[in-house]
Structure 1
Amino acid sequence: MIRTLIVDDDYRVAAIHAASIDRIPGFSCIGQAHTAAEARQAVADLGPDLLLLDVYLPDDDGLSILRGLNSHDAAPPDCIVITAARDLSTVRSAMHLGAVYYLVKPFGLAQLRSQLEAYRQWRQHASGAGEADQATVDTLYNMLRGPAPAARADALSPTMQKVLDTIRASPIPLAASALATQLGISRPTAQRYLTELHRRGALQLHLEYGNAGRPVHRYGPAATV
């Protein structure tokens, strides 16, 4: 369970976010803070895994909270900045301080849910053991961006459509090497199509860890609701 603390000066908005979090599998809202002082105390008392952090707070800048957390010896909680601040200097500061994502208000609850689910997948895969090759690193970074809008079927190239159809027809998730053998294409080409379809949200990635070494990337159809 990802224990989440909401930090927002607007009581109504904080309550809405808290209710949304409690409806997302794998997340639990453990508290709400409406000032920087309350936020710092709640982090110390509750030890959250994730902060949903506003920048504009009545007693301090929200980024100063993130800056202070990074100065502690203990590992800080992850942070998704949720704010109306649109200036690039604030965005750069949040990124520099380690925010895993930056959501600009206003946004829909569906967008918040999508980003939290992307964060959950990222957290799950980033906590695995073993080595990370470049494909793994690229996948982890792409996960934090959330799924891209699904492309229409007629927007796919013939080869990409064939890759998608093959994955959907397979009873088990496939690695690029197995897909390449089935379609008669090179492994790098198969991996390129798989990565792009995963980025578009059409495929789901399964990282299979063995006893040692790099994880095997296998792909299956994206879950539907």
Structure 2
Amino acid sequence: MTIRTLVIDDDYRVAAIHAASIDRVPGFASVGQAHTAAEARARVEELRPDLLLLDVYLPDEDGLSLLRDLRSAGAPPGCIVITASRDLGTVRSAIQLGAAYYLVKPFGFEQLREQLTAYRSWCERASGSGDVDQATVDSLYSALRGPAPRTHPLPPTMRKVLDTLRRAGQPLGAEALASTLGISRPTAQRHLSELHRRGFLSLELEYGSAGRPTHRYAVAAEH
């Protein structure tokens, strides 16, 4: 079972990062990207995705308004809302419109992976037919919520990396971090990548005039 996913985000670079992350999760495939509500409608009609990764802030229309219209037009794709909005009213609206989950930006790959995996598990369990008992209903809701957050302690050097980024107050790359902590650049990059994977850091790509983008990391809002 492959869940075909459409990424809807007004930021082209962020959309590309999310699409690449989706392709890393078993059972999922990114089938396209849209950067406006109008483009999203056309892509939904064209691609018939199974799942939307939907930003709330779009340049031409609120993402939840788009979701509402898709619902009123028939059976919409599943939806995971991704947004920087922490407004409780927005959260309530997303839930009322049937969003499977609500991820607050910035978030790391591990957070996205866990919710995608939970959504796939829910789809697999809900694909049957016939009557169910309360235990089955409970298991379906449990699958949709996903795993409880883990709180494993960080290794000492990784903790130093996180604390240094928190004190810096601005995104840093591996080279600057290595110089500050007196460690090698590969070691700094390894810790940065792992902290990003665990959801502690957000990643920014800084594009120069040529060549590969520079990776800069900042502490995610919830940490």
Same fold? TM cut 0.5:
yes
Counting matched residue pairs gives: 151
How many Å apart are 1:151 and its aligned residue? 8.3
**One-letter identity of the residue aligned with 1:51:** L
How many Å apart are 1:88 and its aligned residue? 0.7
| 1:57 and 2:58 aligned | yes
Aligned to 2:39: 38
Aligned mates of 1:2, 1:135 — CA distance in 2: 26
Unaligned runs of 5+ residues in structure 1 are 153-225
How do 1:62-141 and structure 2 match up within 5 A? 62-73=63-74, 75-141=75-141
SS across alignment from 2:68: helix
Aligned mates of 1:66, 1:149 — CA distance in 2: 28
**One-letter identity of the residue aligned with 1:129:** S
Aligned to 2:183: none
How many Å apart are 1:4 and its aligned residue? 0.3
Aligned mates of 1:93, 1:27 — CA distance in 2: 26
Aligned to 2:199: none
SS across alignment from 2:30: strand
| 1:14 and 2:2 aligned | no
Aligned mates of 1:151, 1:56 — CA distance in 2: 31
Aligned to 1:182: none
Moved runs in structure 1, 4+ residues, more than 4 A?
Answer: none
Aligned mates of 1:91, 1:151 — CA distance in 2: 25
How many Å apart are 1:17 and its aligned residue? 0.7
How many Å apart are 1:98 and its aligned residue? 0.8
Aligned mates of 1:123, 1:63 — CA distance in 2: 22
How many Å apart are 1:129 and its aligned residue? 2.2
Aligned mates of 1:8, 1:151 — CA distance in 2: 30
Q: 1:36 to 1:151 in 2, by over 3 A?
A: closer
SS across alignment from 2:53: strand
Under a length normalisation based on structure 1, what TM-score does the superposition of the two structures give? 0.65
> Once the two structures are superposed, what CA deviation does each residue of 1:66-120 show, in whole Å capped at 9, x if it has no partner?
00011113x1100000101111111111111111111111111100001100100
Aligned mates of 1:78, 1:71 — CA distance in 2: 14
> Once the two structures are superposed, what CA deviation does each residue of 1:110-134 show, in whole Å capped at 9, x if it has no partner?
0000110010000000111232111
Aligned mates of 2:14, 2:123 — CA distance in 1: 25
Aligned mates of 2:19, 2:150 — CA distance in 1: 28
**One-letter identity of the residue aligned with 1:15:** A
Q: 1:64 to 1:136 in 2, by over 3 A?
A: same
How many Å apart are 1:150 and its aligned residue? 5.5
How many Å apart are 1:149 and its aligned residue? 3.8
**One-letter identity of the residue aligned with 2:38:** A
Aligned mates of 2:60, 2:151 — CA distance in 1: 44
Aligned mates of 1:24, 1:97 — CA distance in 2: 25
How do 1:183-198 and structure 2 match up within 5 A? none
SS across alignment from 1:5: strand
Aligned to 1:26: 27
SS across alignment from 1:81: strand
Q: 1:87 to 1:149 in 2, by over 3 A?
A: closer
What RMSD in Å do the two structures reach over aligned CA positions?
1.4
Aligned mates of 2:130, 2:28 — CA distance in 1: 26
SS across alignment from 2:99: coil
Aligned mates of 2:96, 2:121 — CA distance in 1: 22
